[in-house]
């Protein structure tokens, strides 16, 4: 429990530090930080904002989980960006082309997204296993290829109106949409968010989080995964097949990445469009770092990012540069990495001390040790 408290200390210090830096930046441009942060807080805590914040957090969280799966075995899947865009395109096209029983429809769309995402990431996995290509290089390249693939297929095959300014796959019929969750607010006695619908895909995101936690920390596969990351030589000697592990991890990471775009698709756009949100894959890396690959930590990180993006809107309206939010985001990620390391060292030193004491306690039997 004490250890948990310490682990929590790191991000709190980092956040405080980041806010401090942002305050200095605000002061530098002649804005009162108290006023700016006050505005952000007031605006960010309305129910409409909360729904919006959660909606923003959902894809960030899924993206972070995808990255974290790779991180568990020290693989850097930097290609979540490309994976989710390619996956969303195909999922949107398939979903918009069929009409079936709603739960089945949604399941099919999810299945397509997962499969496409997994296959796209799997290319990098296969290249690493068979040819030793570094996954960072491969996934970056696959991002660029992915962007082009998306443009090519959308423009030539999937768009309902290829001449449209904002090309789009056929819209998802009613059966392929997930209803919103605004009733939660009213049930709990809060005012209903206006103009924003809390996305139903939240439930899937929570399930992904739980699944991620169980898989990594509770299953044998997760143990093998972490062991491979911690010490490939020892994992290999213990019977873990490194090649299989690399491939499975990339497939899994890509599969989760495939779902990053789905909350927006099911709950808002109902199609893959040319202006489909981008950058979620890269933001996911920051959230994974922030949450330290923990299921809960990443959720908090995603919500924090969601809050900052949402509340930045109010700054603009008040003539305060909203870039201050980006400063906080950037600084907090940097600071948190440092803070974690510091806390880690502290925990390790304490363990070492305890281990030394244990040695002493038994080792000094009958011998003079203490002065």
Partner 1 sequence: MADSDRAIELIDITKTYPGVLANDGVNLSVGLGEIHAIVGENGAGKSTLMNILYGMQSPDSGIIKVRGEEVTFSSPKDAIAEGIGMVHQHFMLADNLTVLENIVLGDEPTKGVALDYSYARDKINTLAKQYGMPLDPDAMVEFLTIGERQRVEIMKVLYRGATILILDEPTAVLVPQEVDDLFDSLKELQAEGVTIIFISHKLDEVLSVSNAITVMRAGRTVASVLPSDVTAHQLAELMVGSELPKPEAGESTVTDIIELSISGLTSLHSDGRIAVDDVSFEIHQGEIVGIAGIEGNGQSELVDAIMGVRAATSGTILLSGVDISNDDTKDRRTDGIGIIPGDRHRQGLLLDSSLWENTMLGHQTQPPFEKHGFVDKKGAKARTTEVVERFDVRTPSVDVTAAALSGGNQQKLIVGKEMMASPKVLIAAHPTRGIDVGAQAAIWKELRDARADGLAVLLISADLEELIGLSDTLLVMFDGAIVAELEPAEVTPTTLGSHMTGVKIEEAS
| Binding-site ranges for partner 1 (CB under 8 A) | 217-224, 226-227, 230-231, 233-241, 348-349, 351-360, 362-364, 367-371
> Cα angle at 278 between 175 and 126, to 5 degrees?
90
Looking at the Cβ atoms of 194 and 360, the one nearer to partner 1 is: 360
Closest residue by Cα to residue 323 from 29, 77, 109: 29
Looking at the Cβ atoms of 203 and 354, the one nearer to partner 1 is: 354
Closest residue by Cα to residue 212 from 101, 328, 295: 295
CA dihedral over 355, 361, 363, 367, signed as positive or negative: positive
Looking at the Cβ atoms of 164 and 354, the one nearer to partner 1 is: 354
| Shortest Å, Cβ 98 to partner 1 | 34
| Shortest Å, Cβ 208 to partner 1 | 19
| Shortest Å, Cβ 299 to partner 1 | 23
Looking at the Cβ atoms of 222 and 330, the one nearer to partner 1 is: 222
| Shortest Å, Cβ 361 to partner 1 | 8
Looking at the Cβ atoms of 245 and 262, the one nearer to partner 1 is: 245
Extract long-range pairs of 36-45: CB within 8 Å, 24+ residues apart.
Answer: 36/315, 36/318, 36/320, 36/324, 39/311, 39/314, 39/315, 39/318, 39/320, 40/308, 40/311, 40/312, 40/314, 40/315, 41/311, 42/314, 43/310, 43/311, 43/313, 43/314, 44/307, 44/310, 44/311, 44/314
Looking at the Cβ atoms of 190 and 346, the one nearer to partner 1 is: 346
In total, the chain counts a number of residues equal to: 371
| Shortest Å, Cβ 216 to partner 1 | 10
The backbone torsions φ and ψ at residue 298, rounded to the nearest 5 degrees and listed phi first, read: -70, -35
The backbone torsions φ and ψ at residue 191, rounded to the nearest 5 degrees and listed phi first, read: -70, 145
Please, which residues bridge with residue 168 across strands? 273
| Shortest Å, Cβ 152 to partner 1 | 40
| Shortest Å, Cβ 365 to partner 1 | 11
- Element containing residue 288 per DSSP (H, E): helix 280-290
Looking at the Cβ atoms of 148 and 359, the one nearer to partner 1 is: 359
């Amino acid at each position: 429990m004490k250890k948990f408290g310490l682990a929590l200390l790191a991000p709190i210090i980092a956040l405080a530090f980041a806010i401090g830096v942002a305050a200095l930046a605000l002061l530098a441009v002649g804005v009162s930080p108290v006023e700016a942060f006050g505005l952000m807080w007031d605006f960010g805590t309305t129910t409409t904002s909360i729904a919006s914040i959660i909606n923003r957090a959902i894809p960030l969280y899924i993206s972070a989980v995808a990255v974290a799966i790779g991180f568990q075995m020290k693989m850097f899947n930097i290609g979540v960006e490309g994976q989710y865009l390619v996956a969303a395109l195909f999922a949107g096209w398939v979903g918009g082309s069929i009409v079936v029983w709603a739960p089945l429809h949604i399941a099919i769309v999810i299945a397509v997204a997962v499969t496409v995402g997994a296959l796209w990431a799997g290319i990098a996995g296969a290249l690493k296993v068979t040819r030793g290509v570094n996954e960072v290089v491969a996934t970056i390249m696959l991002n660029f290829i992915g962007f082009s693939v998306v443009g090519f297929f959308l423009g030539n095959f999937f768009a309902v109106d290829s001449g449209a300014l904002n090309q789009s796959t056929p819209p998802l019929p009613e059966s392929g949409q997930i209803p919103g969750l605004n009733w939660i607010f009213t049930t709990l006695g809060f005012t209903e968010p206006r103009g924003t619908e809390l996305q139903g895909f939240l439930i899937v995101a929570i399930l992904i989080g739980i699944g991620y936690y169980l898989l990594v920390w509770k299953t044998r596969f997760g143990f093998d995964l972490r062991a491979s990351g911690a010490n490939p030589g020892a994992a290999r000697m213990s019977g873990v097949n490194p090649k299989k592990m690399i491939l499975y991890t990339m497939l899994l990471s890509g599969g989760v990445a495939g779902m990053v775009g789905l909350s927006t698709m099911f709950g808002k756009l109902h199609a893959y469009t040319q202006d489909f949100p981008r950058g979620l894959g890269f933001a996911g890396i920051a959230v994974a770092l922030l949450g330290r690959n923990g299921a809960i930590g990443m959720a908090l990180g995603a919500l924090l990012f969601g809050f900052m993006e949402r509340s930045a809107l109010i700054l603009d309206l008040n003539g305060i540069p909203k870039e201050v939010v980006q400063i906080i985001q950037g600084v907090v990620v940097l600071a948190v990495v440092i803070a974690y390391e510091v806390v880690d060292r502290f925990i390790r030193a304490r363990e070492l001390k305890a281990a030394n004491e244990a040695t002493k306690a038994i080792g000094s039997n009958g011998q003079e040790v203490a002065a």
